[in-house]
Amino acid sequence: SHLSPLSSQISYLVSNFMCNALAFVEEPTDKHAKSDGYCGRILRAQTQGTRRDGYNEFRLRVEGDPENYQPASIYRVTLYASSPSYFRGFTLIALKEGTEGTRDDHYAGKFQIIDEEDTQFMTNCPPAVTESTPRRRTRIQVFWTAPPSGSGCVILKASIVQKRIIYFQDEGSLTVRLCEKEAVFGETTEKPPPECCACGTAKYRVTFYGNWSEKIHPKDYPRRANHWSALIGASHSRSYVLWEYGGLASEGVKQVAELGSPVKMEEEIRQKGDEVLTVIKTKAQWPAWQPLNVRAAPSAEFSVDRTRHLMSFLSMLGPSPDWNVGLSAEDLCTKECGWVQRLDQDLIPWDAGTDNGFTYESPNKPTIPQERIRPLTSLDHPQSPFYDTEGGPITALARVVVERIARKGEQCNIVPDTVDDIVADIGQEEKEEDDTPETCIYSNWSPWSACSSASCDKGRRMRQRMLKAQLDLSVPCPHTQDFKPCMGPGCSEEEASTCMMSEWISWSPCSVSCGMGMRSRERYIKQFPEDGSICSLNTEETEKCVVNDDCYSIPCMLSPWSDWSDCSVTCGKGVRTRQRMLKSPDLGECTEELEQVERCMQPECPTDCMVSEWTEWSECNKSCGKGHTIRTRMVKLEPQFGGEPCPETVQRKKCKIRKCKRGSRARKEKRRGKQQERDAAVEEQPGCKMRPWSSWTDCTKHCGGGIQERFMMVKKRAKNTPAQVTSCKDRKEIRACKVHPC
């Protein structure tokens, strides 16, 4: 029960570490800082203890195997043993490269416990993570929040206790080195500054490119009802958090995550008042993926300013338990006091922590108590559609592009901006915002009517749309008419040459997802005329666009499939069914099937034995005295799969023609001789010639009672046979055989 022979000092260190790795209950006697005492002792043991080289049983891994870390980002760290290995205890620590861990500021980032039954912070060394109880285990996971910008490279180290051996490794599978990702001009800052120093305002367009499809994510892909929910978000201040990793989902986030409904989320956003500058919304996408030449990617525009320079959004992938993608508090203010020009980011799914489920169509099962928001990983559950035995990164489900399209007001960026998009007026944010709830289904807007004024007096134009369906009566549907002010023609002419305009911004997506619609593009006034007059140059152009001639109707609102019914039979081949309901019959005819039928196979049905009818009773086998006669039936079908066994196939009963006269043996022999004479007489009767008796046939059964037969056939019968010769005919004899039980 001792370690391998070592020097007394190393033996003490390793024994002391192992004891504490398994117990962690005694406080160090050193009353100085804990990290200087206990943590330093662990690290010295790692540098002085015996190492096992050339083994690969254990590995420390950061999800996605990154070479760099994004400051303040959260990563999943896994320590695992390859089969059939295991470990009982462990220690996990993160240090700044080149430090010894003797001071608190030597430790980098912060660990977060995922499973308190499996892991805990070390009692006497708070920066380190260890096991909660010493037992056999093959894998543990924790979250690690990367340190702030400027922390340099970080070393993640692990030590393993297996049986009575302690494993350390400074360079290899138990050590991961990550360096800070270098900042690129124009990207968001890794750690947002305490206050944004940019000036003026900026306008952005966010475009959502769904990448979730059967081709890229084939495992268990839901072919029916796959979709992205309406995208919902906002540009907001630091004091408001829509959602974040490690936080709890609000009721609005829960309804997006589980139901795909943005109504409550939008209500929560608008209740924040001045903390929000713009509500960001796009329509839902049914189905989840279509080529861009068939359906344009959804987009929305929003603005940011110095106090509301963060942008967050989320969208549910459906069907799913509570899975989403999105951005959380993405900072569009740069540390150079400017505005980010472009952000292009892949999105992986995350779990809202409100519903338990491992597959796309898992039944509803609320998570009680509610868990914290976390990213999904490829090691969550073997039934997960993202599961990977190697623990590789999940292929992105979507990509979001945020492009700056205009700036307004005085700019104070330290580094000159490469894009000249400063305009005189960004315009009202609410102008193009669509406040239509998802539960209200409208037709497209009609074209604007002519101006009601033919002179330079103020008039107005009108457009209309039709309410097709209201899916939730508790949510009011907005107006079906819209108005805007106008004046008669020729009332706003002025010199165009005095206006300075920006370049045209790229065309917006088509107004419809299929068929013919409209698209527009804008430009902005960079400089008004010096005399203060109004510019007459167009700031917007529209044109017709065709996305897809083969339009499809509004998707049916359907309930989930019910469970499969029981098989229609208890044995053999049958069918089973499942149904779903149409939630919105008012939307018109729905061509989606509401019932599915499939074949089912139960155990084979038992087959009973089948026998033929009984034959006639045979002749008595004795001419006098007690004898017996038999009858038989044949087996037509043997029993199968536990069917009723076959009944008897041979029956015999007693028969007695007459009493035999008593006499000597010689008399019996005389009678037997007379019978033989009669048989011979049959053969020798005038005009009747018989063949000899045939051999007995094979017994009809091997056991349990069968029968044998033999025949005497008429060989020749004269034409003028005397009428009294009645016995000149074929003869048959039957006897029982193999009557012993089977």
**Given its phi and psi angles, is residue 18 left (phi above 0), alpha (psi -120 to 50 degrees) or beta?**
alpha
Q: Tell me the Ramachandran region of residue 294: left when phi exceeds 0, alpha when psi lies from -120 to 50, beta otherwise.
A: alpha
pLDDT in tens, 50-71: 445 435 678 888 877 788 898 8
**Alpha carbon distances (Å) from 53 to 159, 167, 170, 172, 564:** 14, 9, 11, 9, 55
| 519-529 pLDDT per residue, tens | 888 877 766 66
Rg of the chain on CA atoms, in Å: 46
**Which helix (H) or strand (E) is 46 found in, with range?**
helix 40-48
Q: Which residues contact 663 (CB under 8 A, 6 or more apart)?
A: none
Once rounded to an integer, what is the mean pLDDT over residues 383-402?
Answer: 88
Residue 638 has pLDDT above 70, yes or no: yes
CA dist list (Å): 425 to 405, 542, 610: 12, 20, 96
pTM assigned to the model: 0.44
**Cα distances (Å, whole numbers) of residue 545 to 283, 298, 550, 551:** 19, 15, 14, 14
- pLDDT tens digit sequence for 481-519: 888 887 765 565 433 345 777 777 778 888 876 777 888
pLDDT single digits (tens) 22-38: 333 333 334 333 444 55
The whole-number average pLDDT for the span 602-630 is 85
Give the per-residue pLDDT at 235. 96
Q: Is 527 helix (H, G, I), strand (E, B) or coil?
A: strand
- With residues binned 3-state (H G I as helix, E B as strand, rest as coil), the percentages for the chain, rounded to 5, are 10, 30, 55
How distant, in Å, are the alpha carbons of 141, 171, 351 from that of 147? 19, 22, 24
Nearest to 473 by CA among 438, 436, 439: 439
Give the residue with greater pLDDT, 321 vs 47: 321
Q: Calculate helix-pair angle for 40-48, 8-22, nearest 10 degrees.
A: 130
Contact 397, 403 (CB under 8 A): no
The CATH homologous superfamily of the domain defined by 201-408: F-spondin domain (2.60.40.2130)
Q: What architecture does CATH give domain 58-180? A: Sandwich (2.60)
Secondary structure of residue 575 in the 3-state scheme: strand
Q: Specify the pLDDT at position 319.
A: 93
Whether 3 has a pLDDT exceeding 50, the answer reads no
Residue 323 has pLDDT above 80, yes or no: yes
Helix axes 263-270, 251-259, angle to 10 degrees: 160
Is the fold of 58-180 the same as that of 201-408?
Answer: yes
598 or 171: which carries more pLDDT confidence? 598
Residues with Cβ within 8 Å of 33's Cβ and at least 6 positions away in sequence, in order, are 103, 104
Among 55-59, 353-357, 538-542, the minimum mean pLDDT is found in 55-59
107 contacts 94 by C-beta, under 8 angstroms:
yes
Q: Give per-residue pLDDT as tens, 679-723.
A: 555 555 667 888 888 998 998 888 767 788 888 888 877 766 555
Domain spans in the chain, listed from the N-terminal domain onward: 58-180, 201-408
Please give the residue that has the higher pLDDT: either 147 or 474: 147
The share of the chain scoring above pLDDT 90, in percent, equals 24
381-385 LR contacts (CB < 8 Å, sep 24+): 383/358, 383/359, 384/358, 384/359, 385/217, 385/219, 385/220, 385/221, 385/359, 385/360
- pLDDT at residue 21 is higher than 50: no
User: 120-151 as b/e, with b when 16 or more CB fall inside 10 Å?
Assistant: eebbbbebbbbbeebeebeebbbbbbbbebeb
pLDDT band for 11, please (50, 70, 90 cuts). Answer: very low
**With bands split at pLDDT 50, 70 and 90, how would you rate the model's confidence at 81?**
confident
- Average pLDDT of every residue of the chain: 79
Enclosing H/E stretch for 666: helix 665-684
Query: Taking the chain, what is the end-to-end CA distance rounded to the nearest angstrom?
Result: 67
pLDDT higher than threshold 50 for residue 410: yes
Q: Above 80 in pLDDT, residue 89?
A: yes
